[in-house]
Amino acid sequence: MAHLLMVESWVGSMSRLLPRAVREAGDEFTLLTRDLHHYLRSAPEGTAHPLLSARHVLTAETNDTDALLPFVEQAHAALRFDGVITSCDYYLPTAARIAGRLGLPGPAPEAVENACRKDATRRVLAGAGLPGPRFAVCEDWAQTAAAARDIGYPLVLKPVDLCAGMFVRRVDDEAELAHAHRALAAFPVNARGQRRDPGVLLEELLEGPEVSVETVSHGGTVEVVGVTDKSVGGAPAFIETGHMFPAALDPADVAAAGETARRALRALGLDGVVAHTELKLTADGPRLIEVNPRPAGNRITELVRHVTGIDLAAACVDVALGREPDLRRRATGLTSAAIGFLVPDRDGVLEAVDGADAVRAADGLLELRLTDPGSTVRAAGSNNDYLGHVMAGDARGPAARALVEALLARLSPRVVAG
């Protein structure tokens, strides 16, 4: 039985999938957090959060890595950890540094830090000659305005250190650029109490389908598990509205996307990670958007599992422990699986979601999860603002996305002023 140290977690699906994977492997974990109530608040009333299945819960200031390392060394001396893990982007560099300090398996800390910073990722990949958009890293408004005129509109403005699409905006002129820049500047501290870097990343707007490549790297080898497609809405924001695995692409595009992701991981020096690399398939070939050194969110890992039998959450546990991950494909009865998200377009209070009973009875449904009535909602500005999701599978071909879209069309959220 192995013992993992879990350094914080997302409160979404991966906060449930990782504990499940640890438990099903016969292992156990200790949760290290600065605020246990952050997770308790996210559990449905009357239920225990899966993170509370931890063998121990340790409380320390996880936002101060230098001060945290001596605390973790003391905990390791008493509890003996075999690996370090997290699902939360904001603590991936911390987990890598802890693993390195304790002499445990894990990716190189510098590689993780570069992957988690969008500006550093751009510089490393550009230096390695990998294809991407024209870009500029800007420290203030004057630099941003000047860089925008140099690159040319339309552009994408991004924070360098946020995730889930927060404050990522398309801008078509200087007025829109100024508005997006001010909105980001008004958000100086992230949801975990960490002060943000005020810099911004400007990128050329790339045209073409967006996909992600799901990989597992271990022992210097990168295994491409598959390619997922993505639908995006909410302009000028970039909100993920759905995914399908595997992507309905020409085999040549699948191969090109996979090879581009492999090259990006090698350029960054990432090994011992489950990764989620996002690309645009442009007329000139794949172009890199970002590299995430952790399993995909938005339940993409469950789409993969439903189709291939490969559990990427379990693979994440294995590589964190230095074990060979099980990436054997198994017959599951499904050839495609898709998920679609219910995206709110107004602020208010959710009164009900009409049509849910009909969707629950539909053939091919894998999951239906909806926000509880009475919840306060807001018009979506990122991937954090969904009202729920529908997941469905197809046993005969790539029709899962069409089924999900048909089921989503049956759902009508009633949001009233609140």
Question: What CA–CA distance (Å, rounded) separates 396 from 394?
Answer: 6
Q: How confident is the model at residue 361 (pLDDT cuts 50, 70, 90)?
A: very high
Question: What CA–CA distance (Å, rounded) separates 69 from 240?
Answer: 36
Interval 380-391: pLDDT, tens: 889 888 999 999
How many degrees, rounded to 5, is the angle at CA 73 between CA 69 and CA 75? Answer: 115
The answer to whether the beta carbons of residues 352 and 376 sit under 8 Å apart is no
pLDDT for residue 38: 87
**Does the pLDDT of residue 306 top 70, yes or no?**
yes
Q: Which CATH architecture has domain 207-332?
A: 2-Layer Sandwich (3.30)
pLDDT for residue 44: 65
- Domain at 133-204: CATH code: 3.30.1490.20
Q: Taking the CA of residue 341 as centre, how many other CA atoms within 13 Å lie in the half-sphere pointing to its CB?
A: 24
Tokens of residue 196, six digits? 């943000």
Question: What CA–CA distance (Å, rounded) separates 368 from 48?
Answer: 21
pLDDT for residue 68: 98
Q: How confident is the model at residue 360 (pLDDT cuts 50, 70, 90)?
A: very high
Interval 134-157: pLDDT, tens: 999 999 999 999 999 999 999 999
Tokens of residue 210, six digits? 């967006």
What's the pTM? 0.95
pLDDT for residue 49: 81
- Domain at 3-104: CATH code: 3.40.50.20
Q: CATH 3.30.1490.20 spans which residues of the chain?
A: 133-204
pLDDT for residue 46: 62
**Does the pLDDT of residue 418 top 90, yes or no?**
no
pLDDT for residue 13: 86
End-to-end CA distance of the chain: 50
- Specify the length of the chain in residues: 418
Q: What is the largest CA-CA distance in the chain?
A: 58
Superfamily of chain region 335-418: ATP-grasp fold, B domain (3.30.470.20)
**Does the pLDDT of residue 48 top 90, yes or no?**
no
**Does the pLDDT of residue 42 top 90, yes or no?**
no
Interval 203-212: pLDDT, tens: 999 999 999 9
Mean pLDDT of 44-54: 78
Tell me what the pLDDT averaged over the chain comes to.
Answer: 95
Mean pLDDT of 191-199: 94
**Does the pLDDT of residue 47 top 80, yes or no?**
no
pLDDT for residue 45: 63
Interval 265-284: pLDDT, tens: 999 999 999 999 999 999 99
**Does the pLDDT of residue 43 top 90, yes or no?**
no
pLDDT for residue 94: 98
Interval 73-116: pLDDT, tens: 999 999 999 999 999 999 999 999 999 999 999 999 999 999 99
Q: CATH 3.30.470.20 spans which residues of the chain?
A: 207-332, 335-418
**Does the pLDDT of residue 316 top 80, yes or no?**
yes
